[in-house]
Amino acid sequence: MSLTGRRIAILLESGYAETEMAYLERRFAEEGARVDFLTRLWEQRSLTFTGQESRLPFTVDTDVGDVDDERLAGYDALIVPSGLVADRLRYTEDVDDPAPAVKLLRRAFGMKSVLKGISCHGMWLASPIPEVVRGRRVTCHNNMVGDVRNMGAQYTDQDVVVDDDLVTSRTADHCHLFARTIIDLIAARADERPFRAAKPEVVQRVSPGFTFSDLVAGYVTAHHRDRSLVDLRTSGGDAVRVTLTSTTSAEFPRNLGDPHLDATTHLAELLVPGRLVFAYGIHYPDGSFEAKRLVFAGRAAGEYAPEEPDWWVRQIGELARFYRRAQFGDSTPVDYADYRTMLRLGGDKSDHHVQETDTISRLVYGMASSYLLTGNEDHLDVAERGTEYLRAHMRFVDRDNDVVYWYHGIDVRGCQERKLFTSEFGDDYDAIPIYEQIFGLVGPTQTYRVTGDPRIGDDIDATLRLFGKFFRDREHGGFFSHIDPILLSPHHESLGPNRARKNWHSIGEHAPAYLINLLLATGEQRHADMLAECFDLVAAHFPDPANVWLRERFQADWAPDHTWGWQQDRAVVGHNLKVAWNLMRVNAVHPKKSYRDLAERIGRAMPAVGADRRRLGWYDVVERTLAQGQESHRFVWHDRKAWWQQEQAILAYLILAANTDDEEFLRQARESAAFYNAFFLDHDEGGVYFNVLAAGTPYLLGNERLKGSHSMSMYHSAELCYLATVYGRLLIRGEPLSLWYRPRADGFRDRVLRVAPDALPAGRVRLDTVEVDGRPHAAFDPESMTVKLPDSDEDLTVRVELVPARRGTR
């Protein structure tokens, strides 16, 4: 009885092989598994099919269309049997739209945790979706060999072939070997299968013997109105029973700037199966969990608020309003002399008078991004003035070396500003970290995309020369993380633990911070080459064959460094996700199997180790290795969740879903976005919280209560709004997207405005319409998404509409 509690789905149609079907049904039942038979019911309640040998009847009452992702993920295996089943099930009325059973199989191929078992002529079902078997080792009936080779699979002359999560069998006569292999694989995978929907007849109860409050997130599976009970299934597959009380309140999702939307009075209609809900409540020693606050993820079951067309656009507008008011009040134009890096929770300033380059740069990024999405000229003005301020106050023009570097910041107390040349942060003290130079470019580069200001272009180029001349490792490749402030050497002994080191920031952070945006703005090959150079190094050195977590720090010769400062042998969850996200973006520029494979590997591995499967959301920093007896990676400092790591997850899984059409990735993206929007938005003061506790309550102590600090400012929160809009509209949902540009009269030396919204897979998006100063403009190229600008003595306002070239993933 090795499969007790397991579930197996078998597809069925007329022309099935009776002996095979009888054997599989009995054999799996013997092992304790429950077997469901699925077919296309053609809107009937049930259909009775006949076998191919003796016309034995077989009645099926479950439609493949009723198997949603959650249910599909609950199956340990999906089996396509021998005979004519696959051929009949691949029939489709619309030849451009695969049959429902084909779509089910495609979704199952997107879930590694679901074994795919295909026997004999069952491979027919994969023929409309050959990408799922391309390059994979399979066997099949001799008559099918040419077909599977045409599908790109690697035919292997064996009775049964196992290729990871795909099991194939030669003919119906090998059903005993086929069943044995599947049973063994399910049993072997039992421990690692994170999503197990099959067990939950037993509702999990948490009871340590005292009361405590906690959050649970789950999909409604049942609502027992008479008993005020709701059953949920968590993302991790646990069943949880929630008791509703007379003081349980409920809320609809709420964006920044929205009023509180009470849902308490509609609970009965809202608690329908499939709906994702967050329940915060109290566990009692008797095992019951009484909810006090429910937050829904969408207005209706299957709907997610962040997928409303303008959700993120409204959010970035509200973020921009918050930061503008906090930093500059109502004054127009804004005066950056008033800017302060330290903002309290409510946006008011303290007596700390430092202006850090990177926080201004991040604010500029957010404001420029808000302009791109909303066309709000005030926000662009804030971005442009910030860029000017950086140029006037934070820039060190080094004529001897023909480079530019950026001060860490300035202290503006008193009548003269004091330059803070080297970093004031503990990690980087007394050095010039490449991290700060990179983020000095984040805002100016995003502004450059909009205006083409040649002065910004020159400063970016001079900073790139700084990287090339002083940070680059000519011997082993890549860039060093620090140089000393006097000789600008990565090898100077004053650097201490930062001497001759490399890390994620020095190798990979170029891409998200400025390099992809710079390539989008200029189209220059040298930037595409640098992206490939950096991510070839990521693909070569970051994966650890022995560990699910990436390596993040290195010596000059790429030997892993497990001794550095706080990092030791620890993993930052958000860095792993950021690598996956940016590998897929760089893959759009330079398609490479190594990028895509690593991104998918990270995407599939992370939920089990970095996510909170019970409450949703993503953790912070964990120990990479498990000590003896440990089953989960230990948190280094706490189990809080930081806003920027949620961003990485949302963007990584959106872009992975868009590239693979994998429903499991889309589910991760939705769950991550649901948690972020439910718990990180500060509806009272504006902006977003830095950290929340595991259960979603904001954590407001120490530096983490601030809103302007080096990582907060307006970068990650705005980048999320901008790119979740781009990916969500154009790739996931197949909706058009409007963007705004404001090329200066002297902007873009070649007078070509490049409006590709991100590094997106080739051919997925095209430019549809262009307006210049409100009038239609015809000089543009839809495929390259470039606009030939008219010569003008004035700045121009350009609004473009981008459209998807195919239907969305969803």
Partner 1 sequence: MSFQATVQSAQGVVTFRLSGELDSRSAPRFHEMITQAVLPAARRLVLQMADLSYMSSAGLRCLVYAHQRAGSGVAIELVGTRPEVAETIRLTGFDRSLTMLEAGARP
Q: What does the binding site for partner 1 look like in residue numbers (CB under 8 A)?
A: 392-401, 407, 410-411, 413-414, 416-422, 485-487
Q: Which is nearer to partner 1, 391 or 614 (CB)?
A: 391
Cα dihedral: 397, 403, 407, 413 (round 10): 0
Contact 274, 653 (CB under 8 A): no
**To 5 degrees, how large is the angle CA 179–CA 185–CA 188?**
140
Largest CA distance in the chain: 98
Residue 465, both tokens: 């020369």
Alpha-carbon span 717 to 651, nearest angstrom: 12
Q: Which is nearer to partner 1, 96 or 400 (CB)?
A: 400
Shortest CB 407 distance to partner 1, Å: 8
Alpha-carbon span 167 to 115, nearest angstrom: 7
Alpha-carbon span 386 to 366, nearest angstrom: 11
Shortest CB 432 distance to partner 1, Å: 10
Alpha-carbon span 318 to 333, nearest angstrom: 19
Residues in the chain: 810
H/E run at residue 571: strand 570-572
Backbone angles phi, psi at 207, to 5 degrees: -150, 100
Q: Which is nearer to partner 1, 400 or 793 (CB)?
A: 400
Comparing CA positions, the residue from 9, 118, 13 lying closest to residue 57 is 13
Shortest CB 399 distance to partner 1, Å: 6
Shortest CB 669 distance to partner 1, Å: 43
Q: Which is nearer to partner 1, 356 or 509 (CB)?
A: 356
Shortest CB 462 distance to partner 1, Å: 11
Q: Which is nearer to partner 1, 368 or 394 (CB)?
A: 394
Shortest CB 301 distance to partner 1, Å: 57
Q: Are strands 765-772 and 775-776 parallel, antiparallel or unpaired?
A: antiparallel
Q: Which is nearer to partner 1, 261 or 487 (CB)?
A: 487
Alpha-carbon span 84 to 51, nearest angstrom: 9
Q: Which is nearer to partner 1, 410 or 787 (CB)?
A: 410
H/E run at residue 583: helix 573-589
Alpha-carbon span 501 to 550, nearest angstrom: 17
Q: Which is nearer to partner 1, 399 or 474 (CB)?
A: 399
Alpha-carbon span 588 to 581, nearest angstrom: 11
Q: Which is nearer to partner 1, 47 or 488 (CB)?
A: 488
Shortest CB 430 distance to partner 1, Å: 8
Please count the other Cβ atoms lying within 10 Å of the Cβ belonging to residue 66.
Answer: 10
User: Roughly what angle, to the nearest 10 degrees, separates helices 593-610 and 663-679?
Assistant: 50
Alpha-carbon span 735 to 637, nearest angstrom: 42
Q: Which is nearer to partner 1, 410 or 621 (CB)?
A: 410
Shortest CB 335 distance to partner 1, Å: 16
Shortest CB 474 distance to partner 1, Å: 20
Shortest CB 455 distance to partner 1, Å: 14
